[in-house]
Each structure stands twice: as structure tokens, then as C-alpha cells.
Chain A
Amino acid sequence: MYLARVIGTVVATKKADHMTGLKLLVVEPVDRANKPNGEIHVAVDVAQAGEGDLVTCVGSREAALAIEPSFVPVDAAIVGIVDQTDWVADRVRA
């Protein structure tokens, strides 16, 4: 899983048959300081996330498992909306 920010939505009427009815959101991986640190991609939403939410996403096969029925042709899925993250000081060990 990785942290990401929802920055947009995607509407695609023509798509692979198993993907009908799936909500597609544009997400951007972020680091602990909420700064972008990965490539922007599209994830299927399972947790009713909206634009601007900080979410946790999962990739590859696990994304395909996150959606009913399983093994939908997706490689990224939003599995949770983050309420709060607590980070230690930058250096865990001096």
C-alpha cells in the first residue's frame, strides 16, 4: 500500500467489459510531507474517496482483488481514506 492524494476523476464509457460501473480517480503518490513523489496514475475507488482526499492505494494483483467480482483488469485500487497519519521526527535513530 502507498499514500496518495486524489487529484481528479476519470470518466470512460468505452472500456474493458469487467470495468463497467467502477469509479476511476486520478491519484498522485505523496510522501510524508504530502509532497508528490511518484507518477500520477488512475486507481479504482473502493472506499468512496473524493477529490482532495488523502488515501491509501494498493497495486498490482491485490488491486484486482479489492473489487467484487475479483480479478477485474485494474492495477491500482484505493482501499482506504486516511483520517490521520503520525510521523516520527525525521531521523528515527540518531
Chain B
Amino acid sequence: MILCDVVGTVVMTVKHPALAGEKVLCCQPLDDAKEPAGAVILAVDRAQAGVGDRVLVMREGNGVRQIIGREQGKPLDEAVKMDWPVRSMVVGVVDRVDVAPRGASVGGASLGRARDAKA
């Protein structure tokens, strides 16, 4: 899952049947400094998130189908075989995120974060 800011919504009438009645949010991925990083992802909402929220986005179709399958009362093995062409889903609204600042170290030992080398 990744951390994103919801920066928009998308309205579609002509679409794949699986998207009927779904709220599609535009999610801007964030890096560890909580700055926008990367292209916007469109995700189906399952956390009642709204524009301006900081959310958790899952980008794995299998997980999405498990959630949808469970909503439709399908057993797990049947759910994952559903023809549901959606891969990204908002699965949580984040209240708080704490990340070690770049180059941080604990007791002298760097947290070994690959980005430390670049910073």
C-alpha cells in the first residue's frame, strides 16, 4: 500500500460495468517527506475518503477482488477469479504518519535507508 493525497475525483457514465456506482478518486502518491511523487493514480474508494484526505491506496488487483468478492458474499477462491478490472483501491483514511527524517540515525547507526546516500 502507498500513501497518497486525494487530489480530485473522476466522473464517468460510459464505462466498464464493474465500475457502476463506484466513486473514483484521483490519488497523488507521496514520498517519505510527504511531498507529491509520481503520477496520479485513479482508485476506487472503499474508505469513504474525500478530496483533501490523506489515504492508503492498495495497488494489487487480487486484494481488490477479495474485498469486492467478500462484499458480494463470495468465498475467497471464487472472489479472486471475478472479472473485476480494477487494481487500485483506497483502503484507509490516514490520521497520522511519522517517518524518520532523512539521514536520521539511531544510536549512531544510520537507519540504512537507501535514500540517505542520495540526501
Interface residues of A (CB under 8 A from B): 1-3, 29, 31-32, 37-38, 46-48, 56, 58-63, 65-66, 68, 70, 77, 79-88, 92-93
List residues of chain A with CB within 8 A of the CB of B6: 92
On whether the beta carbons of B39 and A80 are closer than 8 Å, the reply is: no
Which of B7, B11, B83, B87 interacts with A87 by CB under 8 Å? Answer: B7
Chain A residue with minimal CB distance to B84?
A: A65
Which of A29, A32, A59 interacts with B26 by CB under 8 Å? Answer: A32
Please judge, given known A-B contacts A2-B42, A32-B26, A56-B24, whether A83 and B85 are in contact too, CB under 8 Å: no
List residues of chain A with CB within 8 A of the CB of B87: 1, 58-62
CB of B47 closer than 8 Å to a CB of A: no
15 further A-B pairs in the complex, CB-CB below 8 A; given A3-B42, A47-B16: A1-B43, A2-B40, A32-B7, A32-B40, A38-B39, A46-B16, A56-B15, A58-B85, A58-B86, A61-B61, A63-B85, A65-B85, A82-B11, A88-B7, A92-B5
On whether the beta carbons of A56 and B42 are closer than 8 Å, the reply is: yes
On whether the beta carbons of B39 and A88 are closer than 8 Å, the reply is: no
On whether the beta carbons of A62 and B85 are closer than 8 Å, the reply is: yes
CB distance from A15 to the nearest CB of B (A): 20
Can you list 22 A-B contacts (CB < 8 A)? A1-B24, A2-B40, A2-B42, A31-B39, A46-B16, A47-B16, A60-B61, A60-B87, A61-B61, A62-B61, A62-B87, A63-B85, A66-B85, A79-B15, A79-B16, A80-B19, A80-B24, A81-B15, A83-B12, A85-B8, A85-B9, A86-B11
